[in-house]
A and B are shown apart, each in its own frame.
Chain A
Amino acid sequence: MAKKVLIEMFTLDSAGCAPCTYAKEAVEEARDEIGGEIEIIEHKIKDKAAVKLMQERGVSKIPTICINGDIVYESIIPPNDELIAEIKKRMKDDGNGCCCGGDCC
C-alpha cells in the first residue's frame, strides 16, 4: 500500500520569485504525473511564521524541497524523473507489511 507523501517547500514566495515559481511547478508536475496521495505545502518566508519554521527545521536556502520531513533539494530544481524517483521512494512500504513505517501495526 502506498504511503501518503508530504512535500514542503520553503520559498521566498512562488508568486514573485522565479526560482521558487519553477521549483513549485516542478513539484506540482511530479505530483500530477505520479497521482496518489501527495500533499504540497508552501512555506513563504515573507511570512514571519515561515522564517521561524525554516530555522527550526534547519533549512537555510530557498527554494528548498522537503519530502516527508527530509531536506532533499536545496536551491536546485531537480529534473522531473529524479524528483519522481525521490517521491516514489517514500511512497513505498517498508517491506514488512507495515504501512506506517513500523511502529503501529
Chain B
Amino acid sequence: MTNKEILLSALRYEEPPRVPWVPYVGVHGAYLIGKDADEYLKSADLIYQGVCIAKEEYNPDGLPIVFDLQIEAEALGCELKWAKDNPPSVIGHVLNDVPLSELKIPTEKDGRIPVVMEATERLVKEFKDEIALLGLICGPFTLGLHLMGSKMISKMVKNPDEVAEVFEFCSQVCKAMAEMYLKRGVEVIAIVDPMTSQISPQMFDKFVLNSYNPTTELVRQYNGRSLLFVCGDATRVVPNLCKVDTDGFAFDENIDMAYAAEEARKHRKVFCGNLPLTVGLLFGEVEDNIKFAQDCINIGRGPGFVLAPGCDLPYHCSVENMKAVVNLVHQG
C-alpha cells in the first residue's frame, strides 16, 4: 500500500498494515523553509515548497495544504493581524460594520483563496497517489465568531435566531470552500472548528451539529472523506462529535485518548490524535515524544485510528522530535 492508501484505509474505518500518520504542518512549513509565517501564507510558491519539504522530512500519509482558519473570514472582509510565527488572527469583525444580507459567498477570486488554490493544484499534481492532501476549511462556528466577534456567545442565548442565520450563511461558505478543493482532486476535507470545545453539548446540538451537513454531503458526492477538527477541552461534547455526519474527528491532548477512542469506536467513527503540542513536540525531549506517540498508538491501534498532533504544529516545532515520531511510525 502507498502512504495515501494507508491513510484512506483508516478513513474508511479499516485497519491498515501500519498506523497512519498525518502531521498537521501549517506555519511550521514556513519554518522548515526559513520563511516567516505571514510571507508563507500569502505565497502559493512558498506553501508548495513548505509542503514538499514536510513530505520529505516527515514521511507522512497525509498533509494539510494550508492550516489557516482566517482565509474565509479575510475573503469576507474581516481585518487580520499578521504574525511572523503564527497564522493571522481576526481583529475586525465584518458584521460589526456590514449586515449579513450584504455578504456574498466567497469565490475563487477573493482574498487569498487564489493563492491557496494555486498551491493546491501544484501539490495535487506533484503528489498524485503518494500521499493524501487535506483541504482544511474553517468550520461554521469558528467562522461565525470571526464574523460577529465574541458577542456571538451571548447572542446564542439572547438572540438565537440571529445566530442561526449567521450559521446558515457560514455553513454555505464551508460548502463552497470544500468544493474548490474537491474539484481540484483533494480527497480529504477537514472542517476545522476549534470553537466547538467552548460550548455546552446542548448548544452544540442546537447550533452546530447540522451545520456541517451541506459540506459532508458534498464530500460524499465527490467520493471523498471528511473529518471534523476540534481543539481545547472538548471532552463534554465528544458524544456530540460522534453524531456529526463526518467520517470522524480529530482532537488534542485536552481530551483523554482512551475515552475518545471508546466513544468513536461505539459509532464506527475515525479518530485522530493526540500528540501533545507544547509539552511534547515543542519543548519535550525525544524520549518524551516517543513515549507520547507509543501511548497514543497503544490506545488507538485498530480500525479508524490516525496518529496526529493535537492541532496545527507550532512554527518552531522541534524537527528532531517530529522525526522521532516518524521513526516510531515507520520502524515500530
Q: Which residues of A contact B (CB under 8 A)?
A: 12-19, 21-23, 25-26, 29, 45-46, 48, 51, 61-63, 74-81
Contact of A78 among B149, B153, B194 (CB under 8 A): B153
State which residues 253-292 of B face A: CB under 8 Å. 254, 277-279, 282-283
Contact of A46 among B69, B81, B87, B278 (CB under 8 A): B278
Tell me the smallest distance from the CB of B305 to a CB of chain A, in Å: 24
Describe A's contact surface by its main secondary structure. loop
CA distance A22 to B89 in the complex (A): 10
Taking each of B83, B86, B234, B314, which has the highest tally of chain A beta carbons within 10 Å of its own beta carbon?
B86
Q: Which residues of B contact A (CB under 8 A)?
A: 27, 69, 81, 83, 86-87, 89-90, 142, 145, 149-151, 153-154, 157, 194-195, 197-199, 231-234, 254, 277-279, 282-283, 311-312, 314
Contacts of A26 in B (CB 8 A): 150, 153
Contact B145 A15 (CB under 8 A): no
8 additional contacts (CB under 8 A) given A16-B89, A75-B198: A15-B89, A16-B312, A22-B149, A22-B150, A22-B198, A29-B151, A46-B282, A77-B153
CA distance A61 to B256 in the complex (A): 12
Contact A12 B198 (CB under 8 A): no
Contacts of A17 in B (CB 8 A): 194, 231, 311
Q: A17-B194, A18-B142, A19-B198 are in contact. Are A12 and B278 (CB under 8 A)?
A: yes
Using CB atoms, name the residue of chain B closest to A22: B150
Contact of B153 among A14, A18, A46, A79 (CB under 8 A): A79
Contact B195 A75 (CB under 8 A): no
Contacts of A46 in B (CB 8 A): 278, 282, 314
Contact A19 B154 (CB under 8 A): no
Contact B83 A75 (CB under 8 A): no
CA distance A87 to B101 in the complex (A): 36
Contacts of B198 in A (CB 8 A): 19, 22-23, 75-77
Tell me the smallest distance from the CB of A32 to a CB of chain B, in Å: 12
Contact B194 A51 (CB under 8 A): no
CA distance A15 to B107 in the complex (A): 27
Contact A61 B314 (CB under 8 A): no
Contacts of A22 in B (CB 8 A): 145, 149-150, 153, 195, 198
